[in-house]
Structure 1
Amino acid sequence: MEKLAIVILLFVFSFMSYGQTNRSKQNSTSKDGVTDSIVWTLLIKPHIVYSSETVSDSAAAYYKKGTENFYSEDYKGAIEDYSKAIEFNPNYMAAYTNRGISKGESGDYKGAIVDYDKVISLDPDDAFVYCYRGAAKSRLGEMEGAVADFDKALTIDPAHTLAYLNRGTIKYVTGDYEGALSDYSKAIEIRPNAIFYLVRAAVKHEMGDYKGEIADYRQSFIYGTPNAALYDRLGRALYEQKQYEEALKVYDEGISAYPKDHDLYYSLEQACNQLSDKDKTANTVADTITFKIKSSLYLMATPGFEFIVSDGSRTEEIIGKGFAAGDSIKYEFSTDEERTVTIIGAVGNLLFASATNNLSYRNYLRKQGRKKTLVVFAEDVLQLDISKNKSLRHVLCRECRLSELDVTRNHGLEELDCSENQLKSLDVSRNKNLQVLFCTKNKLINIDVSHNLLLEELVCFDNDNLSLDVSANKNLEFLSCGGLLKEIDLTNNTELKELICRCKLTKLDLSKNKKLKKLRIDGNNLSAKELNFIFKALPTVDYYKDHTEIDFSDNPGTSDCDRSILEEKGWLSPDSNM
């Protein structure tokens, strides 16, 4: 009988922890629910087995049908089909095993044990079935019997890592931490595995070996691809040992890899709150912003944020006051000439504006919390260097005079607005977490967003003959483009909700964009036939509920297209009387 590997489900992270569901209790050590969760669902939930036994065609057919029902989570149907297979072949071991697994999924652990007993009577040297039966016994609270089955599995196969893992788990939930540690260590010795290190880390925490716990979490990173929960567990272990700077680094790395995980942001905030503002500035990797400017400077920053401003002739330490009216800080230059200014500090939120004291973005900054935001709003900024500011998440540098902008080292960047500059090129290929990109009114000829798979909003109109390929951006919800584009492929952008495209399009296929609610395609080269084709592809909507908008004016076919198609689909044409 050929066995598949046991499925070790990764929501181990939800309960093999010491900070379980209540985020306000950073030091919780509860193991409530561990018996129910770990012993059955996590460590001992098996794939059903494949059979190499010679059986009748009828038995094989019912076996196959039972397997299909199992994977469709129709466990009752699976049990019936496996029972039929057993009727045709009373010693069909794979059918008994899978029926036992199906019974276990249905909560009939006693029935599962009966089936596993039958398999063991037919093949007493099957170590896997002893593990299955031990799992069922553990769910009935028969811990001694469960351990005996895992012992038997190890007698048959001394290198059976699953048996060590399961026996270690029984010992863990019954408080035998030394025994659990020994079993997990043996499993690691035989076959190092991310999950093995993870569960051993939980045991070491209970035993007070916090250094060992952290070391095992780090080993989990080496032997597997860490998910957001593992970043959170390692960060929290460091947090509990008051290694706040190390915890911050782990959370930052986790957020870079999983930018939509809210728990990581929460944990990052908790760690930040444990550091004084001075410690944040002194001990966090220093952020540096360098720019060239002529005019004087008005700055706003997160309250308490300490940073150093230097223009070559003098250096001044500044502490942010906030973003309310009157909180701006004026940094005056001695002469009105081009100079390089450097801002050094652990940047939280920072805005600097021109001598006009135009601080229109302060409300935006206030809403960002501690999300590492920089806003530059100064007409006299000639150059901006944020290459050393690797923690930035949001950068808005509108209406400057930048001819270059390097964001290739800002890997955590989620939002970039560099509109109304003089950029001829922009490389965002390394900004994997980028979700929003505004780059209007520049001199861009090409922009490659094929690497920005999380991109949700792209606004790039008023550039120099910009070519555009958004076929890789499957999460794109909002697109605004313009220029001399004659065609654009949107068939992969099934999440698209709003499209503004004032180009030179001669055709447009919207047949895959079923979530579209706003469409502006005025000023293109679309014939009446092509407009009708577009209208027919639009989703049917409720105008008053969905608040749809459409504009197709200034096209060659605007006058002769069939507006009734729109109205039948609930869209209102611009000249409709509805």
Structure 2
Amino acid sequence: MPRMKSLALNSISDTRELDLNTFCPNVESINIGSFTDLEHLEIEDCFRLRSIQVYSNPKLTSIEFGSHPEAESLYCSYNGFSSLSLKSLPALRDIDLSSNEVLSHLELNEKTSISAILIQGCAFQSITDILKCCPSLRELSCSYNKLTELDLSDNSNISELRCEHNQLTRLMVPQGSLLEHLYCHSNQLDEDALNTLFDSLGQVLEPAIYYPTPPRQYRISFNDNPGADDCNRNILNDKNWIVENK
């Protein structure tokens, strides 16, 4: 089916291999989900792919990507990946690799245009190299990993961060940051680490009756950290941040 532009195959069993190279080489969007027995997927020669959705295939432990210069979105959650290289997808903007429970290594091109990375529920111990490749990053969800440090000082566009349920003892964000959501609860951040984080956050404008629309709100959660009870919450109050308990 060389003229096929979109392909969706879901909830199929007793299929170990799937070759899309010869079946639909010109496909632009694929949705391959819930194959209980899928172990091998061939898409290397599908050069026109723009959207790749491959999810809930527990026996699929790797994908060999060919050259996909137009692929902008990658949704590959709930598979069996332990390592993945995305260097042949230079146009990526959104990545969702969440709930690949053994995924601990991800390779990206240098200086990508990626704006969103979702890797919650994986096994990363460090994502320093990933962050260096994503200067345009706006959204990061890395909760439920094995991270001990997270430094976003050079990711000046970050506006949403979810890093709860790790082992973080150190968390740094760009000076003057205004993040709509900053969830860092359930980590190992002590009093000094939390106060340093609070000092880095930007000043939120106070609501005023002359606003034509309600002002944007900025929220933070930091409960269930060793320093949560003794940290200086007045820093957040003075900056008009909303504190949530998760």
TM exceeding 0.5: yes
Give how far 1:512 is off: 3.3
**Higher-helix-fraction structure:** 1
2:83 aligned with 1:425: yes
Provide the C-alpha distance between the structure 2 equivalents of 1:450 and 1:539, rounded to a whole number of angstroms: 31
Specify which of 132, 135, 141 is matched with residue 471 of structure 1: 132
2:191 aligned with 1:528: yes
Q: Which residue of 2 aligns with 1:500?
A: 162
**Higher-strand-fraction structure:** 2
- Over 3 Å counting, the alpha-carbon distance change for 1:428 and 1:562 in structure 2 is same
Provide the C-alpha distance between the structure 1 equivalents of 2:123 and 2:17, rounded to a whole number of angstroms: 30
- Over 3 Å counting, the alpha-carbon distance change for 1:345 and 1:531 in structure 2 is same
Q: Which residue of 1 aligns with 2:24?
A: 345
What is the 5 A alignment of 1:304-383? 337-338=14-15, 340-343=17-20, 344-345=23-24, 347-348=26-27, 372-380=28-36, 382=38, 383=40
The structure with the larger Rg is 1
Corresponding residue pairs, total: 228
- Over 3 Å counting, the alpha-carbon distance change for 1:528 and 1:380 in structure 2 is same
Kindly indicate whether the alpha-carbon contact (under 8 Å) linking 2:97 and 2:118 is maintained by their aligned counterparts in 1: yes
Give how far 1:373 is off: 1.7
Q: Which residue of 1 aligns with 2:41?
A: 384
For residue 396 of structure 1, give the secondary structure of its aligned residue in structure 2: strand
Two-structure CA RMSD over aligned residues (Å): 2.8
Q: Which residue of 2 aligns with 1:394?
A: 51
Provide the C-alpha distance between the structure 1 equivalents of 2:16 and 2:107, rounded to a whole number of angstroms: 33
CA displacement 1:472-500 (0-9 Å, x = unmatched): 31100000113221112211110000011
Q: Tell me the amino acid that sits aligned with residue 506 of structure 1.
A: T
Specify which of 228, 231, 236 is matched with residue 561 of structure 1: 231
Give ranges in structure 1 of 5+ residues lacking alignment.
1-277, 296-336, 349-371
Kindly indicate whether the alpha-carbon contact (under 8 Å) linking 2:152 and 2:174 is maintained by their aligned counterparts in 1: no
Kindly indicate whether the alpha-carbon contact (under 8 Å) linking 2:68 and 2:89 is maintained by their aligned counterparts in 1: yes
Q: Tell me the amino acid that sits aligned with residue 486 of structure 1.
A: T
Give how far 1:465 is off: 3.6
Q: Tell me the amino acid that sits aligned with residue 30 of structure 2.
A: L
Q: Tell me the amino acid that sits aligned with residue 472 of structure 1.
A: C
Give how far 1:339 is off: 5.3
Provide the C-alpha distance between the structure 2 equivalents of 1:384 and 1:428, rounded to a whole number of angstroms: 15
Where does structure 1 differ by over 6 angstroms across 4 or more consecutive aligned residues?
A: 286-289
Give how far 1:424 is off: 1.0
Q: Which residue of 1 aligns with 2:120?
A: 461
TM-score (norm 1): 0.37
CA displacement 1:329-349 (0-9 Å, x = unmatched): xxxxxxxx445455523655x
Which structure has more relative contact order (CA 8 Å, sep 6+)? It is 2
Q: Tell me the amino acid that sits aligned with residue 412 of structure 1.
A: E
Provide the C-alpha distance between the structure 2 equivalents of 1:400 and 1:554, rounded to a whole number of angstroms: 34
For residue 378 of structure 1, give the secondary structure of its aligned residue in structure 2: strand
CA displacement 1:255-278 (0-9 Å, x = unmatched): xxxxxxxxxxxxxxxxxxxxxxx9
What is the 5 A alignment of 1:154-553? 281=3, 295=13, 337-338=14-15, 340-343=17-20, 344-345=23-24, 347-348=26-27, 372-380=28-36, 382=38, 383-401=40-58, 402-442=60-100, 443-451=102-110, 453-469=112-128, 470-482=131-143, 483-502=145-164, 503-512=166-175, 514-542=177-205, 545-553=215-223
Give how far 1:287 is off: 8.4
Provide the C-alpha distance between the structure 2 equivalents of 1:452 and 1:438, rounded to a whole number of angstroms: 18
Kindly indicate whether the alpha-carbon contact (under 8 Å) linking 1:526 and 1:555 is maintained by their aligned counterparts in 2: yes
Kindly indicate whether the alpha-carbon contact (under 8 Å) linking 1:495 and 1:513 is maintained by their aligned counterparts in 2: no
Give how far 1:558 is off: 0.9
Kindly indicate whether the alpha-carbon contact (under 8 Å) linking 1:472 and 1:492 is maintained by their aligned counterparts in 2: no
Provide the C-alpha distance between the structure 2 equivalents of 1:489 and 1:410, rounded to a whole number of angstroms: 30
Provide the C-alpha distance between the structure 2 equivalents of 1:473 and 1:373, rounded to a whole number of angstroms: 24
Give how far 1:513 is off: 5.7
TM-score (norm 2): 0.82
Provide the C-alpha distance between the structure 2 equivalents of 1:394 and 1:562, rounded to a whole number of angstroms: 45
Provide the C-alpha distance between the structure 1 equivalents of 2:240 and 2:48, rounded to a whole number of angstroms: 46
Give how far 1:552 is off: 0.6
- Over 3 Å counting, the alpha-carbon distance change for 1:560 and 1:447 in structure 2 is same
Q: Tell me the amino acid that sits aligned with residue 187 of structure 2.
A: N
- Over 3 Å counting, the alpha-carbon distance change for 1:498 and 1:447 in structure 2 is same
CA displacement 1:423-471 (0-9 Å, x = unmatched): 0110012221111111111111221335351010011122224421202
- Over 3 Å counting, the alpha-carbon distance change for 1:341 and 1:432 in structure 2 is closer
Q: Tell me the amino acid that sits aligned with residue 491 of structure 1.
A: S
For residue 163 of structure 2, give the secondary structure of its aligned residue in structure 1: strand
Give how far 1:412 is off: 2.0
Kindly indicate whether the alpha-carbon contact (under 8 Å) linking 1:424 and 1:444 is maintained by their aligned counterparts in 2: yes
Provide the C-alpha distance between the structure 1 equivalents of 2:51 and 2:5, rounded to a whole number of angstroms: 14
Give how far 1:507 is off: 1.6
CA displacement 1:77-125 (0-9 Å, x = unmatched): xxxxxxxxxxxxxxxxxxxxxxxxxxxxxxxxxxxxxxxxxxxxxxxxx
Kindly indicate whether the alpha-carbon contact (under 8 Å) linking 2:153 and 2:174 is maintained by their aligned counterparts in 1: yes
